[in-house]
Structure formats: structure tokens, C-alpha cells
Structure 1
Amino acid sequence: MKVYAGVDPISGKRHYLTETIPPGRTAAKEAEKARTRLLAQVDERRNPRTRANVDQLLDRWLEVVEIDATTRMGYVSKLSKHVRPVLGKLPVGRLDPETLESFYATLRRCRDRCNGKAYLQHRVEGEHNYTAKCRPHVCKPLSASTVRQIHWILSGALNRAVRWRWIAVNPAAQAVKPAPPHPDPQPPRPADAARILNEAWRDPDWGALIWLAMTTGARRGELCALRWHHVDLAAGVLTLRRSAYLDENGELQEKDTKTHQQRRVALDPETIEVLRELQARYLARIAELDLPAEDDAYVFSPEADNSRSSPWKWCNG
């Protein structure tokens, strides 16, 4: 039984709902029931409007969704590594809560989605001599927090699919996601923090960065984007306005802070003194180069004039 259901918005072809009726004495009656049921789905707009697969939905969703640049990079990475290889070719209309929950369970057993059988995991593609890097596979589960992130990414894309009438309901809304992990922060003990600072202070600029991270709680990217006009040493206030990040090409870029809001942080006397010494080194350096001091110069920079944000590991961890 085949019922016309409109034009597929992805392929532009005529889209049909189909159902196969087994032969027998009641085949005609069952076919009429199927026809009535399919027509009702079309009339009530409960039918999938497209045969598009999950890959096509994700591509379309990433085109229109408005998200932060670093968030987008994280989404693309998780989708490419975990979702597309398993669910990418599955038609969106066939995605159901059972499939999603089975997918989540697989990731929680092994992030490489192995079938439980022992095998040798190669680190080099193609023909090669076995090396120390070719080791037996050991299952490593994906963390519950990462699986939850994957769930919310899929849920967002499927919500758009419902809005676009590609599907009638969002299967992710009915799927059970992993429970959120219990917060368990483990900051370094005072003695450990002091030891870290002592080691870092072999390079005074690096030590100043570690000190500022410990005393202000600022994120790495926020410290990398910090400029001298954001620092008011007289008032003892630090303003966090921007954040630095590495894009998909490895180029350093700037964006809003993670919360899209600026923050003002009060500085203690010791931190003010650390920043005064850092600024004095900067001023002495540009004086030797006969360069002017710029208000928009970065606080931490690999350049002598602090004209460029630090591309070191500070921004990307």
C-alpha cells in the first residue's frame, strides 16, 4: 500500500508512505485499513516528510543553528567521532528511543563501540610491522557527561526536525539519558599549589599567569585575551571581557566570554603586586625597543610589544 505524502524537502522528489500487507484471505481488508491509517497520518501531519538520514539532518541543523564558535567545534567533533559512524545513514523517521538508548549504552561500555571480542588495536593504517603501539584493545567507556552532551546535541537537531515537519515527534525527548555525574572538584592542596607556583616562577611571566589563574578563577581563554586596559591596578579591579580560542585551523581567535557577560574581579594586594611587576617588565622591554606603550596590548604575549595574544598551550590547555 502506497500513499502520497508530499514532496521531500531534501531530495525534491515525491514522497510516499508505504506498508506491506501479507497475502491471504483478509489482505484486501488489511490493505484498506493500512490505507486509511496512512492517509490519516498525512492529514494530521504525523508522517515523516522526508527520507533524509541523520547525517543530512545534522548537516542542515549545523547550517542554521546559532552557537558559539568553540561550542560548534565541540559539537562537530563529537558528532563526527561518535554519532555519524553509527547513526549517520539511518533515516530520521526510523530513529526511536530504543535505538538512542541502545546507542548510549554502547558508548558507556566502550567509546570505540567494540563488540566485546578481543582484537589488536593498530595505531598505524595500512600494512606495517607490528610495533609497541599495536596493543590489544582495552574497552574505555565514554563518560556519562559526554554521553549526555551527545544526547542534548541530538535532541536539539531533532527538535528542529519536528519544527520543520521532517518528523512528528522528537525521539530524544522520550529516550532516557545517563544521570548527571555528582560534582567532585579536587583542587590542589595549598602545599601542592605552592609547589606548582614555585616551579612555574622559573619563568616570571608563566608564574604570573598561574598565580592569576589561581587567585581569580578566570578561564584560560579569558586570561589569554586579557589586555592592559582591562586591568585597573589603582582600583585593584580586573575586568574579564573577552576569551581567546584556537579555531579549526589552529589560528588564535577571540570571542565573548563563555557566559557572554563581562565580569569584574577584585584583586588582593599580592596579586596587584604580581601584575605591577609583570607590567614593569613589559614597559622596560618596549622602552629598550623604543616602542610606545599601548593600552590594548595583551597582558600575556609571546611578542616583545605584547601585540599578539599568547598562542602557547595556555589557551587550549
Structure 2
Amino acid sequence: MGEARLAKYWGAACLRQVLLAFGIFLIFVVVFVGLIVLALALPIPQSQRPTVIFGGLMAVIFLLVLGAINWGIISTRRRAYRLDAVFAPYSLTGKAYLWNGRQYHGLVSGRQVDAYFYRGLNLDLYLASHLQTRLSVGPKGRLTQNAARIAVQHLLTVQDSNLQTLEIYTLDEIWSRELLGDPIARSVILRLISHQPGFQFRNMLLQPEAIQLQVNHLNLDDITAEDLLSWVDDLTTLANIAEALPPTINPVESTSLEHRSRTDRSSFTKLIFQTTCGVIILLIAGLIFIFYGVMETLP
């Protein structure tokens, strides 16, 4: 059911993107034709007509970009204001993440909490722990299977009827069965993963140094401080139970990428910003080059 809802969500999102792209394309076609008609109608020398067309197109592009930037700033500020209100009771430090995302860092009940909101609206919520193994839990389907393959985990077969709707992958079967055998841990996992309202798609990863809850396709207006408190409390309860179990027989360490993804994604933001600026500069340079090339071919 989770993947079916997600497929509908993605389908609707793709349709919106297609309609938006088609609308922008129509605007450019209408503007281009209008500029040609205007250039031909104006009492100006023939050599100046391409300048009118090119200048008009550049003006339209500038206005569209300016409008997109203004819309992005307004929506980003609205999202930041809304999310800051949710995280304010926990004294977590908030700052920008990527172009329109938000990140929060701080201590809750003595444990480091790191949260990242990004386009979707998607949430990666991390709670620091002392774990040295991997266990992933999610709704049955290809998304959970693919995530487990990346971490080279193995499917864990369970007999509990309450867990039949979930797929569980692990590196240490014995340790994982002990964790799932705890009734409180089992109820926490079911509460976090099984209840997925709307188009939400959730999965949870126990990994070295942290427990991660991924919540995809959140509704911004539905997120409350109570939701956050419930998630953090459940993750804390699960971490306490997991850390009290006997150590795993095959301990693993967190990779540098995992550690950076959890504690500091600023380097990723800088890379995306630099790449975007580079692409924009290349596009502008290309347009200028094409313009002068066309002008030189005119008599």
C-alpha cells in the first residue's frame, strides 16, 4: 500500500512538472512569435531586428528567473517560519539547507538530534546512539529492498503477525531477533513505520552511531511539535533498548560519508551552489556567444 500511494504521489507530481514545462514552453513560443512580429513592424533598419528579438527574449528570461527567485524566497521563508515553530520547544539550532530546505541540530534528553528537511517535503531525522550494526525496517516493496542492498543487508524472516507488513534487513540476525523480541521495541517500530497517513512513506535504519527515521512526502501544515516529540521519544526508547542488548558479533563502524550526512551536510550544499552558479554562468556565456555569432553573420 505504501508504494501504491507513493506511485500516485509521484505520478501527480510528474504531471504537474509536465504541465508547468509545457506552460513555460508556450510562453516562450508566444513571446518569440510576438517579438518577430514586433521587429518586422517597427520602422528600424534590418540589422537591428535581431537585436530587438534577442533583447526581448533576454528580458522575458530575466523576468521569469526573477519571478522564480522571488517565489522561492517567499516559499522558503514560509517553510522556515513553520518548521522553526515546530522545533522551537526543543532549542534546536536551525539554519538553511540546500536551496529551500532546513536543518536542525541540538541535544534532546542528552542525545544529539540532527534533522534535515528538503524538497518533497522529506525528513531525515537522526538520533545519536552507540550502535555498531545495521538494521533497516520499512514497508514491503522494492524501495526497502533496494535500500537494504546498498548496505549489503540480509532479509530477516519473522513469525510475528504484526510485522508481516514490514520487511526487515540486518547484518546480525541473532542481535536483531533479540531486539525484535522485546515487546516495547517492537511496538515502537510498528508505531513509527506502520502508521503512514496520506502519501507518507517511512522507513527506519539502525546504523553505526545513530538511528535514522526517514519520512518522505510530509505535508508541511500537518507537522506539529507533538509529532516531533513523539518521534524523538520513540527513537530514544528504541536506542536505549538496543544499546542494552549484548554487543553484536560483527561490529561495524560508521563511514565518513554516513557521519557527514548525519552531522554536517554543509559541504554538499556548497557543492550544489557552486555547480548551479557554474551552469548559470555557462548558459549566459553561451547566449552571448550565440548572439554575437548571429550578429556577425548579418550583412
TM-score by length of 1: 0.20
Q: Which has the higher strand share?
A: 2
Which is bigger in relative contact order (C-alpha 8 A, separation at least 6)?
2
- Higher gyration radius (CA): 1
